[in-house]
Amino acid sequence: MKKLLFLSMLACSVALHAQPRGGKQVSPLTINKDRSVTVRYQAPATVKEVKICGDFLPFKVVSTEKWGDREEFTPIVMKKNTEGVWEYTSAALKPDLYKYWFEVDGVKTIDINNLYVMRGGRSDNANFFIINDGISANYITQQVPHGTVSARWYYSPYFKKDRRMFVYTPAEYEQMSTNRYPVLYIFHGSSEEESSWLTQGRMVEIMDNLIAQGLCEPMIVVAPNGDLDSQASYYTMNFDSSNQPHMCDVQNRSRGKENFDYYEYEHSFKDVINFIDSNYRTIPSKEGRAVCGVSMGGRNAMNVSRLQRNTFNYVGLFSPALEPEIHFPNKGYDQDIIESLRQQAKDGVKLYWIGVGQHDLQWKTNVPFRKILDEVGMKYSFNPSDGAHTYNNWRVYLTKFAPQLFK
Amino acid sequence: MKKLLFLSMLACSVALHAQPRGGKQVSPLTINKDRSVTVRYQAPATVKEVKICGDFLPFKVVSTEKWGDREEFTPIVMKKNTEGVWEYTSAALKPDLYKYWFEVDGVKTIDINNLYVMRGGRSDNANFFIINDGISANYITQQVPHGTVSARWYYSPYFKKDRRMFVYTPAEYEQMSTNRYPVLYIFHGSSEEESSWLTQGRMVEIMDNLIAQGLCEPMIVVAPNGDLDSQASYYTMNFDSSNQPHMCDVQNRSRGKENFDYYEYEHSFKDVINFIDSNYRTIPSKEGRAVCGVSMGGRNAMNVSRLQRNTFNYVGLFSPALEPEIHFPNKGYDQDIIESLRQQAKDGVKLYWIGVGQHDLQWKTNVPFRKILDEVGMKYSFNPSDGAHTYNNWRVYLTKFAPQLFK
């Protein structure tokens, strides 16, 4: 950890330089010594106003009846400097990965001179930067042993098609050629894809760093695609279609399929487990399996762990999307849901971990769920945090959840 | 192949729809029935002129004394339609992957509403699309068995540090658990990185499709990082540095290191081969090894195959950068270079394949090299093509080179 802290000190007063396509070189970003950041943007001279947008800006809390408190980041008008470049300097920021973009006379765009570009969901490109210190040092490739991450295709008998997942094997997996390893299954949210935990989630960097620091058991991490109609990332597959397939979420399901089984993803998930247990040196039992997920994926983790009895010993719900009237077959916590949770509690899980932000749109929806857990005697670890329904929180949750597994 | 052709017919008259961040939905791109493409761009209303740029535009051939004929794509002024969206419709295009971007009142940018964004080298983001038919059907994920691609770190004793490579294992590698497979080592060009053959090069899609069609032997393909000072892609590592490390190219070497050994990459390459032969079921002999590369990587392939005797049976030079006064230690084809090529010819290679475009900036520099090959008695396959120093050609070269290996 000392090493990470030392490395992270180097982050101070660093400028990203990039060569624009022709024209004068403008540094898109400077991280200042006080951990503020100066963002620059070279707009066409004709442009009247450039606003900076992003999750590093000051936010206001907006109260809503349905979704509780939410954080709203207000775009800020940048100032044109003497060289005609638009500039904005933030307040000092806490260590994290931040995304930003621009409104140029009302049209949203990113800065192609900052080559750090991240696709969020399916409809979201943004620039990003990292204020590197403390917890966010885990989001960066450090000088530690590195695991392998593989894009693997498997045949799903349930869906009768090939599907893709990412599989992380820890650094020692290849060296210890007979050791068996536990598996964490990690789910993305709605409108996302199997790569989301690798890009926004920084899962590979987090696992490498936690394992190297001895904070976390070496484990395999499996990131499947949670979209029932896709075989893989939309951007891998869809050069032949103008129709975005709908996501594995109830709101969208009716668009694509009639008479949809609400637990289709959960039932099909045996295919993923069977493939992993057949192709990797796993501990193929409850003791060797954890499952977690964000938002829609948090609900998937909740469902799959209660519907597949004695399959997972560790469950992590990160801001799970649990609005009963939307997210369950009969628009409520039916008795069969409650009974299966009671059974899960009786069967026993070593850890049932819930994280949710106080400005998270799922904060309110999680209250009745925890009451049910109390009623059925499920012991759980409740971890309220600051912040909202974002990977800023979910990276932290993974960093807290993973060290508690398989010990 | 029939299946691919059928699938590719679906490409006609397809529109990519994307939801801009707020505002009306503008379809960034329509591929028309006649294989022309209509590109749209929503610019700020204040903007006076939007030009479309890219490699799908008409080009003119410009003759230069030093670099021979080159292709120059002239940006074209788009037209504002009645809805205020800038539009351009191309001529009918031949099947290929094309990149494009914009000049908005002179400032270069991309369209974030087209989520197909590709980083080229280290300083180059562009939108892209595929006209899908014939050869370019190989650039797309089809319904065929898929290999696995892994980001793997290895320790290099030569550089005394960890470095990263991508390893493609063919679909049957996992099923045939005792079979051994030949290896193709594939090198990127200057200012690129270990992922370049996966993004611009479409190597994974090409190998999957060629193998599935029975055109190509199942083989492992290894894409290492050719930048001596980097451990991995700049964008994986460098959150702590404002200095772009110099590339594995002579022009840049003096910036970073004094007294540089010009063949350091080539000598260090044993580390990659040893790692692969130790960690994969390879055929660990000359009969089971091929090496190819583009531009700087073409020179690397030429050098590594003559300096490491009897290591490679197949050599592919794709537009190799072979300007003697720049690219060799003593600014010319020294006698030791010529003798090592003579020795390589005597030792024997099954295929020495050279591809270069008639408007390629390396067209002229390759003429004296082929004379040397003639002098030393090296039999080679010379494959002149249309086109220039781009992945448009190099994807085609891989599609022609790979089927000739290990047969």
What is the pLDDT at residue B308? 94
* B189: closest CA of chain A, how far (Å): 19
Which residues of chain B does CATH 2.60.40.10 include? Answer: 2-136
What is the pLDDT at residue A190? 85
pLDDT (mean) for A80-86: 95
Who among B107, B110, B141 is closest to A44 (CB)? B107
pLDDT category of residue A340 using cuts at 50, 70 and 90:
very high
pLDDT (mean) for A105-117: 86
Pick the residue from chain A with its C-alpha nearest to B136: A239
Question: Which DSSP category does B268 fall into?
Answer: H
Do B105 and A46 count as a contact with CB atoms less than 8 A apart?
yes
What is the pLDDT at residue A116? 82
* A196: closest CA of chain B, how far (Å): 15
pLDDT category of residue A122 using cuts at 50, 70 and 90:
low
DSSP one-letter string for B139-187: GS--SS---EEEEEEEEETTTTEEEEEEEEE-THHHHSTT--B-EEEEE
Who among B16, B235, B240 is closest to A116 (CB)? B235
Q: A-chain residues within 8 Å CB-CB of B145?
A: 153, 162
Who among B7, B23, B242 is closest to A16 (CB)? B242
Which residues of chain B does CATH 3.40.50.1820 include? Answer: 148-404
Q: B-chain residues within 8 Å CB-CB of A107?
A: 20, 23, 42-44
> pLDDT per residue over A211-225, tens digit each?
999 999 999 999 999
Point out which residues pair with B41 in neighbouring strands. B86
pLDDT category of residue B239 using cuts at 50, 70 and 90:
low
Whether the pLDDT of residue B10 is over 50: the answer is no
Whether the pLDDT of residue B26 is over 90: the answer is no
Size of interface A-B (CB pairs under 8 A): 156
> pLDDT per residue over B79-103, tens digit each?
999 999 999 999 999 999 999 999 9
* B324: closest CA of chain A, how far (Å): 28
**Contact between residue A221 and residue A203 where contact means Cβ atoms under 8 Å apart:** yes
B108 touching chain A per CB within 8 A = yes
Specify the range with the lowest mean pLDDT, choosing from A91-100, B160-169, B250-259: B250-259
* A338: closest CA of chain B, how far (Å): 39
pLDDT category of residue A236 using cuts at 50, 70 and 90:
low
User: Complex ipTM above 0.85?
Assistant: yes
Point out which residues pair with A41 in neighbouring strands. A86
Pick the residue from chain A with its C-alpha nearest to B240: A11
Do A107 and B43 count as a contact with CB atoms less than 8 A apart?
yes
**Contact between residue B321 and residue B299 where contact means Cβ atoms under 8 Å apart:** yes
B240 touching chain A per CB within 8 A = yes
Q: Looking at per-residue confidence, does B238 or A19 come out higher?
A: B238
> Two tokens at B314?
């197949």
Burial-class residue B59 by CB neighbours within 10 Å (0-12, 13-18, 19+).
middle
Task: Give contacts of A 179-218 with B, CB under 8 A.
Answer: none
Q: How open is the CA angle B88-B94-B99, to the nearest 5 degrees?
A: 55
Whether the pLDDT of residue A259 is over 60: the answer is no
* A316: closest CA of chain B, how far (Å): 27
What is the pLDDT at residue A98? 94
Pick the residue from chain A with its C-alpha nearest to B21: A108
What is the pLDDT at residue B19? 36
Point out which residues pair with B60 in neighbouring strands. B72
> pLDDT per residue over A52-70, tens digit each?
999 999 999 999 888 888 8
What is the pLDDT at residue B238? 57
Do A232 and B141 count as a contact with CB atoms less than 8 A apart?
yes
Cα–Cα distance between B4 and A337 in angstroms, integer? Answer: 46
Q: Looking at per-residue confidence, does A311 or B20 come out higher?
A: A311
Pick the residue from chain A with its C-alpha nearest to B122: A115
Do A42 and B107 count as a contact with CB atoms less than 8 A apart?
yes
Cα–Cα distance between A93 and A128 in angstroms, integer? Answer: 14
A164 touching chain B per CB within 8 A = yes
A42 touching chain B per CB within 8 A = yes
Specify the range with the lowest mean pLDDT, choosing from A127-136, A144-153, A381-390: A127-136
**Contact between residue B252 and residue B262 where contact means Cβ atoms under 8 Å apart:** no
> Two tokens at A15?
């400028």
Percentage of chain A lying above the pLDDT 70 cut: 86
In this structure, the strands spanning A29-31 and A14-16 are antiparallel
Whether the pLDDT of residue B234 is over 80: the answer is no
Whether the pLDDT of residue A242 is over 60: the answer is no
Who among A11, A21, A244 is closest to B108 (CB)? A21
B152 touching chain A per CB within 8 A = yes
Q: A-chain residues within 8 Å CB-CB of B107?
A: 23, 42-44
Task: Give contacts of B 6-25 with A, CB under 8 A.
Answer: 7-8, 10-11, 14-23
**Contact between residue B96 and residue B130 where contact means Cβ atoms under 8 Å apart:** yes
Specify the range with the lowest mean pLDDT, choosing from A36-45, B47-56, B168-177, B251-260: B251-260
Who among A8, A22, A151 is closest to B149 (CB)? A151
Task: Return the HEC string of A307-339.
Answer: HCCCCCCEEEEECCCCCHHHHCCCCCCCHHHHH
What is the pLDDT at residue B121? 66
pLDDT (mean) for A168-190: 94
Percentage of chain B lying above the pLDDT 70 cut: 86
> Two tokens at A310?
């004695």
pLDDT (mean) for B50-71: 92
pLDDT category of residue A101 using cuts at 50, 70 and 90:
very high
Point out which residues pair with B314 in neighbouring strands. B290, B351
What is the pLDDT at residue B261? 57
Q: A-chain residues within 8 Å CB-CB of B242?
A: 14-17
Task: Give contacts of B 342-381 with A, CB under 8 A.
Answer: none
Q: Looking at per-residue confidence, does B122 or B56 come out higher?
A: B56
Cα–Cα distance between B27 and B16 in angstroms, integer? Answer: 6
Q: B-chain residues within 8 Å CB-CB of A112?
A: 101, 108-110, 125
Do A112 and B109 count as a contact with CB atoms less than 8 A apart?
yes
Cα–Cα distance between B31 and B381 in angstroms, integer? Answer: 37
What is the pLDDT at residue B327? 82
Specify the range with the lowest mean pLDDT, choosing from A135-144, B200-209, B375-384: A135-144
Question: Which DSSP category does B321 fall into?
Answer: -
Pick the residue from chain B with its C-alpha nearest to A167: B150
**Torsion sign over Cα B382, B383, B384, B387:** negative
Do B141 and A236 count as a contact with CB atoms less than 8 A apart?
yes
Do A20 and B108 count as a contact with CB atoms less than 8 A apart?
yes
What is the pLDDT at residue A232? 81
Q: B-chain residues within 8 Å CB-CB of A150?
A: 148-151
> pLDDT per residue over B261-312, tens digit each?
568 888 899 999 999 999 999 999 999 999 999 999 999 999 999 999 999 9
**Contact between residue A232 and residue B141 where contact means Cβ atoms under 8 Å apart:** yes
User: Which residue has tokens 């930003």?
Assistant: A100
Whether the pLDDT of residue A384 is over 70: the answer is yes
What is the pLDDT at residue A114? 80
What is the pLDDT at residue B257? 35
Q: B-chain residues within 8 Å CB-CB of A236?
A: 141
A13: left (phi over 0), alpha (psi -120 to 50) or beta: left
Pick the CATH number of B148-404 from 3.30.379.10, 3.30.450.40, 3.40.50.1820, 3.20.20.220: 3.40.50.1820
Which class is B2-136 in CATH? mainly beta
Do A44 and B237 count as a contact with CB atoms less than 8 A apart?
no
Helix (H) or strand (E) holding A71: strand A68-73
DSSP one-letter string for A157-213: TTTTEEEEEEEEE-THHHHSTT--B-EEEEE--TT--TTHHHHTS-HHHHHHHHHHT
B209, B210, B215, B218 alpha-carbon torsion, rounded to 10°:
-100
Cα–Cα distance between B108 and B43 in angstroms, integer? Answer: 12
> pLDDT per residue over B115-164, tens digit each?
788 877 666 788 888 888 899 999 998 999 999 999 999 999 998 999 99
Q: B-chain residues within 8 Å CB-CB of A140?
A: 239-240
In this structure, the strands spanning B107-109 and B96-104 are antiparallel
Who among A14, A122, A174 is closest to B240 (CB)? A14
Pick the residue from chain A with its C-alpha nearest to B148: A152
> pLDDT per residue over A395-405, tens digit each?
999 999 999 99
Specify the range with the lowest mean pLDDT, choosing from A83-92, A281-290, B330-339: B330-339
**Mutation site, B240, B243, B244, interface A, largest A CB count within 10 A:** B240
Q: Which amino acid is at A45?
A: A
Pick the residue from chain B with its C-alpha nearest to A155: B145
